[in-house]
């Protein structure tokens, strides 16, 4: 069968563009990153990581104010150290992970601060509720990667995470600490 060379070359070029294009779009390296929730029950601080998340941060040190960040966390992936408890927080009264599969953060404004720091303002969506948050982030460039570190405090009751009957045992305030490697 006679192949149409120009068409083939064009096709190859198109594929090549896609591949290199995809490679140049920064994506979060989930294997090196971490998103850890710290809650307090009976005043005991417990760290629980989200095992599954993805996203990307477009950050150019020359134009930090033009940066953009998008993160998506799989709510069912919160690991409380035992399957019994992890399964519990996936239920309706907590994350309701069947209905609200993911929680997202989408940046709306980046305000550069001191060298290696910026404030990321964005919309956090969790269990169908949204909140505008501003997170102080520190940036550190490694040889091939960039690390973004920061933390924020959230209220369980605002997002309807957990029955009120738990309020005497588990603090309303929950800290979320992230270390994003891209």
Contact residues for another protein (CB under 8 A)?
Answer: 41-48, 81-82, 84-85, 88, 165-166, 168-170
When the beta carbons of 60 and 165 are compared against another protein, the nearer one is 165
- At its nearest, how many Å lie between another protein and the CB of residue 162? 10
Between CA 134 and CA 122 the distance in angstroms is: 7
Smallest distance from the beta carbon of 142 to another protein, in angstroms? 25
CA pair distance 135, 121, nearest whole angstrom:
6
Closest to another protein by CB, 139 or 176: 176
- Give me the least distance between CB of 170 and another protein, in Å please: 8
Residue 88 or 172: the one with the smaller Cβ distance to another protein is 88
Q: Nearest 5°: phi and psi at 73? A: -115, 135
- What is the distance between the alpha carbons of residues 89 and 160, in angstroms, rounded to a whole number? 12
Number of Cβ within 10 Å of residue 113's Cβ equals 13
Nearer to another protein, 27 or 87 (CB): 87
Q: How far is the CB of 86 from another protein (least distance, A)?
A: 11
155 to 121, 127, 131, 133, 176: CA distances (angstroms): 17, 13, 10, 12, 11
């Amino acid at each position: 069968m006679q192949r149409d060379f120009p068409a083939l070359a064009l096709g190859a070029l198109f594929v090549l563009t896609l591949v290199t294009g995809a490679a140049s779009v920064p994506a979060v390296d989930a294997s090196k990153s971490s998103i850890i929730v710290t809650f307090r029950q009976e005043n005991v601080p417990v760290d629980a990581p989200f095992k599954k998340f993805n996203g990307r941060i477009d950050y150019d040190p020359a134009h930090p104010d033009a940066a953009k960040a998008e993160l998506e966390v799989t709510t069912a992936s919160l690991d409380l150290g035992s399957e019994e408890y992890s399964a519990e927080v996936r239920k309706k009264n907590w994350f309701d992970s069947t209905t609200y599969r993911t929680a997202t953060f989408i940046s709306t404004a980046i305000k550069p601060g001191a060298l290696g720091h910026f404030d990321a303002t964005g919309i956090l969506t969790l269990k169908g509720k949204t909140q505008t948050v501003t997170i102080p982030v520190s940036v550190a460039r490694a040889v091939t990667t960039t690390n973004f570190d920061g933390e924020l405090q959230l209220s369980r009751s605002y997002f309807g995470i957990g029955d009120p009957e738990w309020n005497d045992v588990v603090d309303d305030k929950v800290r979320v600490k992230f270390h994003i490697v891209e």
